[in-house]
Amino acid sequence: MHVSTKQKEVASCSTRSQLRWRLCWENELDLDDHVELAAFFRKIYGQTGSFNAKPFEGSQSWGGARPELRAIGYDSKGVAAHLGLLRRFIRIGDVDVLVGELGLYGVRPDLEGLWIGHSVRVMHPVLQELKIPFAFGAVRPALQHHIARFSRHGLATIMAGIRVRSTLPCARLDKPPTRTEDVVVIVLPIAQPMSEWPSGTIIDRNGPEL
């Protein structure tokens, strides 16, 4: 299915900035876009340690799995916020579930009040057009406050006490090939009701996290 998001721009007002959102498929980005995004991720992820900024060296604008669709927020200073989308199957118990994984989230430090909910709202019409059963994302418990406000509007369900197992982006002899993390999961029912989400406390990505 083709979703007509090419160079689509959506105006979104926040309390701190007037953002211009660009929805684009990965093949629509040129090298300059990747260079700008890589610098954005190095800056925001590097705040928690240089190791977290390392995947974004040069023009690489993704850290694990590569998104197929991006929502990029711009203001007068350049890239202000970002959210990636990747359709994939995850496994919960013995059930395979098609999801649109949301990840590679970032917001510039001077716009921390923007919250992840603004980015998800921009992406939501595309998720509906793609007819994905669910949108799925996972954040570290320390970042739960970034999604708490969004869930209060009833668009998402937040689940704590979930463990997500992912493969590492690069195989190394000195590390195991997978990583299991205790995370907070956010699920948005899109084409199926939340009652169809399988029960289980371990989710297998069977691939790197977005």
Stated pTM of the model: 0.87
Phi and psi based region of residue 95 (left: phi greater than 0; alpha: psi -120 to 50; beta: remaining): beta
Residue 146 has pLDDT above 70, yes or no: no
Q: What is the pLDDT of residue 16?
A: 46
- Domains identified in the chain, total number: 1
Structural domain contains residue 140: yes
Mean pLDDT of 35-55: 91
Structural domain contains residue 173: yes
Q: What is the pLDDT of residue 18?
A: 79
* The pairing of beta strand 95-107 with beta strand 157-167: unpaired
Mean pLDDT of 202-210: 96
What percentage of the chain has pLDDT greater than the value 90? 65
Q: What is the pLDDT of residue 169?
A: 83
CATH of the domain at 34: 3.40.630.30
Of the ranges 2-6, 43-47, 75-79, 90-94, which one carries the lowest mean pLDDT score? Answer: 2-6
Pair 80, 74: CB distance under 8 Å: yes
What percentage of the chain has pLDDT greater than the value 70? 83
CA pair distance 127, 100, nearest whole angstrom: 7
Q: What is the pLDDT of residue 9?
A: 61
Structural domain contains residue 3: no
Structural domain contains residue 110: yes
Q: What is the pLDDT of residue 2?
A: 53
Structural domain contains residue 182: yes
Q: Which of 173, 170, 178, 171 is nearest to 205 (CA)?
A: 178
Q: What is the pLDDT of residue 14?
A: 44
> b/e per residue, 145-159, with b = 16+ CB within 10 A?
ebbeebbeeeebebe
Instruction: Give 172-203 pLDDT, tens digit per residue.
Output: 778 889 999 999 999 999 999 999 999 999 99
Structural domain contains residue 147: yes
- Give the containing element (helix H, strand E) for 157: strand 157-167
22-25: which pairs have CB atoms within 8 A and are 24 or more residues apart?
Answer: 22/70, 22/71, 22/72, 22/73, 22/74, 23/69, 23/70, 23/71, 23/122, 23/123, 23/126, 24/69, 24/70, 24/72, 25/68, 25/69
CA pair distance 12, 23, nearest whole angstrom: 13
Structural domain contains residue 58: yes
Structural domain contains residue 210: no
Nearest-Å Rg of the Cα atoms of the chain is 17
Q: What is the pLDDT of residue 138?
A: 92
The domain of 133 spans 8-204
Task: Report DSSP state, residue 61.
Answer: -
Partners of 180 in the β-ladder: 165
